[in-house]
Amino acid sequence: MDIKEKIRELPGSPGVYIFKDESGSVIYVGKASSLKKRVKSYFRPSKNLSPRTELMAGKVRDIECTVTSSEAEALLYESNLIKEYQPKYNVSLRDSKTYPLIKITMAEEYPRVMIARGRKSDGSLYFGPYTDAALLRQAIKSIRKMFPFRTCRPLPKKACVYYELNLCPAPCEGKISREEYLENIKEIILFIEGKRDELLRRLAGKMKRLSGEERFEEAARIRDRIEALSAAVYKKGGDVRGGLSELKDILGLKHEPRLIEAFDISNIKGQEACGSMVTFKDGRPDKSKYRMFKIREVEGQDDYAMMREVVRRRYIGTLKEKHKTPDLIIIDGGRGHLSAAASEVKKAGLAGVKIIGIAKVFEHIYTLDRDLPVALPPSSKALQLIQRVRDESHRFAIKYHHILRRKALVGDKKAKKQKVRKKRPSL
């Protein structure tokens, strides 16, 4: 695929782009509010390009990009990539007194996160420098919404308005332990460093632990973070068609899986249980075919039974006539979830359709015809495509779970009010 075709494949979303030369070396890393518009601007006749930029554009033979939730988040990711690859055509940011940094005051009992100019030997962690102070401020705001932290100095005796806005966990009033607060800081560091997979695994483990301890409200807050992170970014290594072609070869399919459907289950201890189905056509989301399922037949927390119900309702129920049979089915889960879903697919007379599972912990791929899972490298375009489809099904399931939770909370509040009214003595 030539450069023009690759540009046509790019989304109009914010993110980071990487230019490579004929040897495969990274020669430039940049960020954009629209990847398609920004990358396209390098390759059309223009008198606005500097001689250096024209020379660089002439050497580009491959393009990779990472889509992010905002240009501000792209700023953080761009800085990490520039440090990793040290591209020839990126401007040097050695003068950290000129450019802003992220500073985390690790020497304090409850560290603060802020923007700083220049590094000091004060026990703090520094990240950057970054090229845009305004975007960096937006990035800090986004981080604080997901991972609340304190900014006040000194520590006050009473919680302020930021606690009410869910932007500070109020260590001043002991509403969070130092251990838990430092866990949040570690997660912020992983986010800034772009270690998203490690961060998601960490959060998933925490959510499971909180659910097991029946700390459901805290578990729900972790779910919110996972949802935000899962929706925030996906990697597009080269081109979508490459991922489909690689997936065909790895799974031994007769043709590229142009139509893919994926399923996930969402619940906390069986409460407000639901499932999702997302559809990808030619490697891209087809949101008109997305479906939500409220679990009707399963009581308690039985994820396998819930998966069987959702898959059965898709391939044996009314949706069977409305939707085409997919080329590939992806299940969010390991061997157990895959087996549960496969049993219903077989009952529906679709034994010929390939079905796979992807486990979050190690990102291994499970199939019915292999005893051991398939471990693909992170650079694999096929794995990146599977992850993107899986993450979208996860995001969509959590979104519906939140809708059901809100409805349940509203119903509980109404029921309590009615109960109070009944208890009041008549005058």
Q: Is the pLDDT of residue 325 over 60?
A: yes
Q: Are residues 211 and 162 in the same domain?
A: yes
Question: According to DSSP H, which parts of 147-292 are helical?
Answer: 161-164, 178-192, 196-212, 216-232, 240-251
Quote the pLDDT of residue 94: 55
Quote the pLDDT of residue 415: 58
Name the band, by pLDDT with cuts 50, 70 and 90, for residue 224.
Answer: confident
Least confident of 162-171, 182-191, 377-386: 377-386
pTM (global) more than 0.75: no
CB neighbour list of residue 29: distance below 8 Å, 6 or more residues apart: 16, 17, 18, 19, 78, 81, 82, 85, 87, 90
Name the band, by pLDDT with cuts 50, 70 and 90, for residue 236.
Answer: very low
Q: Are residues 228 and 243 in the same domain?
A: no
pLDDT tens-digit profile of 361-404? 678 899 998 888 888 877 688 888 998 899 899 888 888 888 88
Q: Are residues 188 and 60 in the same domain?
A: no
Buried b (16+ CB within 10 A) or exposed e, 218-242: ebbebbebbbebbbbbbbbbbbbbb
Total number of domains constituting the chain: 3
Q: Note if the bond before 154 is cis, omega within 30 degrees.
A: yes
Task: Taking residues 54-58, report their average pLDDT.
Answer: 90
Which structural domain range is residue 63 located in? 3-85
Q: Are residues 279 and 250 in the same domain?
A: yes
What does residue 249 show for φ and ψ, rounded to 5 degrees? -70, -45
Residue 425 inside a domain? The answer is: no
How do beta strands 291-294 and 271-281 pair?
antiparallel
> Which domain CATH number covers 36?
3.40.1440.10
Task: Taking residues 145-153, report their average pLDDT.
Answer: 91
Cβ(147)–Cβ(188) under 8 Å?
A: yes
Residue 377 inside a domain? The answer is: yes
Element (H, E) at 345: helix 335-347
Task: Decide which of 26, 50, 85 is a domain's last residue.
Answer: 85
Residue 92 inside a domain? The answer is: no
Q: Are residues 404 and 299 in the same domain?
A: yes
Quote the pLDDT of residue 10: 81
Which 3 state secondary structure label does DSSP give 77?
helix
Q: Is the pLDDT of residue 315 over 90?
A: yes
Residue 253 inside a domain? The answer is: yes
